[in-house]
């Protein structure tokens, strides 16, 4: 991680080394925090944050299930821009986080103070430059996505990421780039930090919130671009058998952007039954959507200027 000079912490900029918390912080013990991942891209008119409002709205919506954030959406948006400017960054990843702070360690102590921080730091392609061109290799995880009856999975809360952590570290140990988790209905949910799209005979297919996914802002952007391109779209649960009918597959996410998938191994370990599904890379539909997505984030798409918030 490339450290920067300043972190926005509870309303003001503090040096990176001083943005610390106490070990009795509630969120450290129980995962009681919510966060966002946002990217700021270099454009011909200077740095611009992609879909800032949508991310801050999701942050506050995630928080509303757990606690109240002591800043408004406008204040949070302004703080994101302030921390980019203070660090003189031309492109970066933003990580706003709000969490229950120190006070009392009772699980139900929703009266502990809520703290808010925003980190801004350079972060290259999440799954690697090669992955963007050549595609990634994915395996099914033996860890299922947390059920909708257990947590509101459409929100982005810290504790949910124990589930992602188990899935992705298991995939790495097995030599894969990422994992795909099934949900408690046995259908496909998503990656540890990405949504999944398939292309079946030119039609774009992806699942929705009913499948226990985080409905991504990148997913939404890609769906809007696909509609503009006149692509046929189906939003419905994804069955394992859908992989057999797909010629292309890709992941979307703020960190992963639009990453082609080369292979999905449905075996849960080397000894178990299952199939290896292989996809076309670069697939023509994936390539078209990936390139339109990069045009949008980098300010080259006239019709998507309203997705960008200029930093200066
Ligand atoms: C579990 C999970 N699914 C999907 C996504 C993609 O969401 P977005 O496109 O809003 O970054 C993320 C990343 O935030 C994630 O953590």
Mutate to test the pocket of ligand 1, among 96, 148, 195 (most ligand atoms within 8 A of CB): 195
Measured between alpha carbons, how far is residue 176 from residues 50, 169, 200, 293 in Å? Answer: 29, 10, 24, 25
Residue 125 confidence (pLDDT) above 90: no
2 is catalytic: no
Show the beta-strand stretches assigned E in the chain: 6-9, 12-15, 33-35, 38-43, 46-50, 92-100, 114-121, 136-140, 178-182, 188-191, 195-200, 203-206, 233-235, 248-253, 257-265, 276-278, 308-310
pLDDT, mean of residues 183-200:
98
pLDDT at residue 126 in the model: 80
How many residues are recorded in the chain?
312
Mutate to test the pocket of ligand 1, among 34, 36, 37 (most ligand atoms within 8 A of CB): 37
Q: Which atom of ligand 1 is nearest to the CA of 254?
A: 11
pLDDT, mean of residues 280-307:
97
- In angstroms, what is the span from residue 103 Cα to ligand 1's centroid? 31
pLDDT at residue 128 in the model: 82
Domains defined along the chain, listed by start:
6-121 (3.30.470.10), 129-297 (3.20.10.10)
pLDDT at residue 117 in the model: 98
Q: Using 50, 70 and 90 to split pLDDT, how confident is the model at 12?
A: very high
pLDDT at residue 270 in the model: 76
Q: pLDDT tens digit string along 213-252?
A: 999 999 999 999 999 999 999 999 999 999 999 999 999 9
For the whole model, what pTM was predicted? 0.97
Half-sphere exposure of 273 (CA within 13 A, CB side): 0
Q: Using 50, 70 and 90 to split pLDDT, how confident is the model at 269?
A: confident
Backbone angles phi, psi at 200, to 5 degrees: -115, 110
- In angstroms, what is the span from residue 253 Cα to ligand 1's centroid? 5
pLDDT at residue 127 in the model: 83
**DSSP-derived 3-state class of residue 47:** strand
Residue 158 confidence (pLDDT) above 90: yes
- In angstroms, what is the span from residue 257 Cα to ligand 1's centroid? 10
């Amino acid at each position: 991680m490339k450290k920067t000079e300043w972190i926005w912490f509870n309303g003001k900029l503090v040096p990176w080394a001083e943005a610390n918390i106490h070990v009795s912080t509630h969120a450290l013990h129980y995962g009681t925090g919510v966060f966002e991942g946002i990217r700021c891209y270099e454009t011909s008119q200077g740095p611009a944050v992609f879909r800032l409002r949508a991310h801050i709205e999701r942050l506050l919506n995630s928080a509303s299930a757990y606690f109240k954030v002591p800043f408004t959406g406008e204040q949070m948006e302004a703080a994101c821009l302030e921390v980019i400017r203070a660090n003189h960054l031309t492109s970066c990843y933003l990580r706003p986080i709000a969490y229950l702070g120190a006070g009392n360690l009772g699980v139900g102590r929703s009266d502990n103070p809520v703290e808010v921080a925003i980190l801004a730091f350079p972060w290259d392609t999440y799954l690697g430059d090669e992955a963007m061109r050549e595609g990634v290799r994915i395996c099914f995880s033996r860890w299922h996505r947390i059920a909708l009856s257990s947590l509101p999975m459409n929100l982005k809360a810290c504790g949910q990421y124990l589930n992602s952590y188990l899935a992705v570290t298991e995939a790495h140990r097995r030599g894969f780039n990422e994992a795909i988790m099934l949900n408690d209905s046995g259908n496909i949910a998503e990656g540890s930090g990405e949504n999944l799209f398939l292309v079946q005979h030119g039609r774009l297919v992806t699942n929705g919130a009913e499948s226990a996914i985080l409905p991504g802002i990148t997913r939404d952007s890609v769906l809007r671009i696909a509609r503009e391109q006149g692509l046929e779209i189906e939003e419905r649960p994804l069955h394992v058998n859908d992989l057999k009918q797909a010629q292309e597959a890709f992941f979307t996410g703020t960190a992963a952007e639009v990453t082609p998938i080369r292979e999905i191994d449905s075996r849960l370990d080397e000894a178990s039954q299952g199939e290896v599904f292989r996809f076309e890379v670069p697939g023509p539909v994936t390539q078209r959507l990936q390139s339109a997505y990069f045009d949008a984030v980098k300010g080259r798409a006239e019709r998507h200027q309203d997705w960008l918030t200029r930093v200066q």
